[in-house]
Chain A
């Protein structure tokens, strides 16, 4: 399957995704010129395997966003074939912050997952070396969570 003349990368991606992996099709949407695939947590690794087979050979990054009741795990994948990037998102419950590691598919995910663990506390099963990367090993807490507090955090003044 190749790109049709005049078709954007994302449209081509949608077409190919829907034909090869039809069960992922309803989870895919194009929002503001970005492709987003929102999958349940259990299906995350499976979707990643499928996307890699589809042509996403480059791993952009993986990060998390603290949404209050859950963490939104955001993974960015890039493909030279589609000329476009894709967000692979999943919701990780706050009290069970565990996810599957991507390192078996893309070795590049190594340090990114360590950083997510360090700053958010989400553990990745299957990661070869799950420990803190940016903060000292004996640091307590996960700073990028919205409820993180320690003595150095200064509350924002109200007048701004």
Chain B
């Protein structure tokens, strides 16, 4: 059963009164759409006193497995980290490899990487906003968000044959060039998406009930966001203006013109709305990239099959949909990584659940978890 009442324990509250605290286990599998996370909540009546997420249910030992594979063979493993955003998970790893092996990626490949990463960002944010909708009961908002995601995933299907785990971005470039007509199709999707996203904004975020369910819930202050290592929409919802694409630019982002949406109050509403606004900005980025892209090679010429980077270490990070996703690679000169560490933003953001939940009710807990938007492939690795 998804929910078990473990015990009732009497505790002495701060003001000296005896409280019968109910310990409820919200089990690893429950119908809220966020993945395998177990939350042990201590309730005082309806109000949460302590919420402790227990993770590790999706721990597959990806970092250990990477030590036994060549650098190219690790790329499919990274797909399965943030499986909602395989493109940028691949890209973070490839950037670390390229930094370590000092590979220069051709320009067309960089543009393609930016295009697919931004498309992936839109798709991932649609998953995040859609699940916020599903959590609060707005099923139509969920389906509308997924319509946008479907069109993008269809584009990816045509590009690399897969809808979820793409294995497309490889060290040195991308695995294959864009098929004929793909650019036109992409342009169509990106032209159509912003008005649909604005309609979704009006449908869900403009609704006063969604405001009541999400405003003022799970408020994270700016200072706390920085101290607790939050990144991505979770931090930007609190007003932290930090986006790796602007603060530490990489790839061809310096040539593209875009803005970073930032929230004010740091509540669930702002965190979710920032995602939607970012998705709209991504549409503009993709349009510019499609205009600027030139024909050329998509993979570095002369790259050996078995990459043997220099002995040493390297870290590189990108702005994924969840925050700053980084990969730290240690090499000993052999064809296999000596150590791969993935700094996943969902892992860092999920710590906040224990901080944000107390004081709210159990219905709010799901909304807060949704606004933090964890993907457990990334959290547990």
Contacts and interface: CB of A to CB of B under 8 A. Distances in A.
**A–B direct touch, CB within 8 Å, in complex?**
yes
Interface of A: 31-34, 57-61, 63, 65-66, 74, 76, 80, 83-85, 87, 106-112, 119, 132-136, 143-144, 156, 160
B5 interface: no
Contacts of B99: 32-33
Contact of A58 (B63, B70, B229): B229
Interface string B286-321: 000000000000000000000000001111000000
Interface stretch (B104-112, B336-344, B358-366): B336-344
Interface string B42-56: 000000000000011
Interface in B328-357: 328, 330, 338-339, 341, 343, 347-348, 350-351
Contacts of B228: 107-108
B86 to A, nearest CB: 21
B71 interface: no
B226 interface: yes
B61 A143 contact: yes
Contacts of A110: 351
B227 interface: yes
Looking at B63, B247, B339, B350, which has the most chain A CB atoms within 10 Å of its CB? Answer: B339
Interface in B260-305: none
Given A76-B315, A160-B70, A108 B348 contact: yes
B156 to A, nearest CB: 29
B227 A80 contact: no
A65 B339 contact: yes
B380 interface: yes
Nearest to A111: B351
20 contacts: A34-B314, A58-B226, A60-B324, A60-B343, A61-B341, A63-B328, A65-B338, A74-B313, A80-B242, A87-B313, A106-B229, A108-B228, A108-B229, A108-B348, A108-B351, A111-B347, A112-B348, A134-B56, A134-B380, A135-B59
A59 B55 contact: no
Interface of B: 55-56, 59, 61, 63-64, 68, 70, 99, 226-230, 242, 247-248, 312-315, 324, 326, 328, 330, 338-339, 341, 343, 347-348, 350-351, 380-381
B351 A83 contact: no
Contact of B64 (A59, A80, A143): A143
A133 to B, nearest CB: 6
A45 B351 CA distance: 22
Contacts of A63: 328, 341
B247 A83 contact: yes
B330 A65 contact: yes
Contact of A156 (B59, B68, B312): B68
A65 B63 CA distance: 11
Given A61-B343, A106-B229, A108-B229, A134 B328 contact: no
A156 B63 CA distance: 15
A160 B336 CA distance: 10
Given A32-B312, A63-B341, 19 more contacts: A59-B229, A60-B324, A61-B343, A65-B330, A65-B339, A66-B339, A74-B341, A80-B242, A84-B248, A107-B227, A109-B229, A110-B351, A111-B347, A111-B348, A119-B63, A133-B55, A133-B56, A134-B55, A144-B64
A160 B73 CA distance: 11
A16 to B, nearest CB: 18
A80 B350 CA distance: 23
Contact of B56 (A80, A87, A136): A136
Looking at B248, B313, B350, which has the most chain A CB atoms within 10 Å of its CB? Answer: B313
A108 B248 CA distance: 21
B185 to A, nearest CB: 38
B365 to A, nearest CB: 19
Would you list the 8 A-B pairs with minimal beta carbon distance, nearest first?
A: A108-B229, A134-B56, A61-B343, A134-B59, A63-B341, A65-B339, A108-B228, A59-B229
B100 to A, nearest CB: 8
A60 B326 contact: yes
Contacts of B328: 61, 63, 74, 76
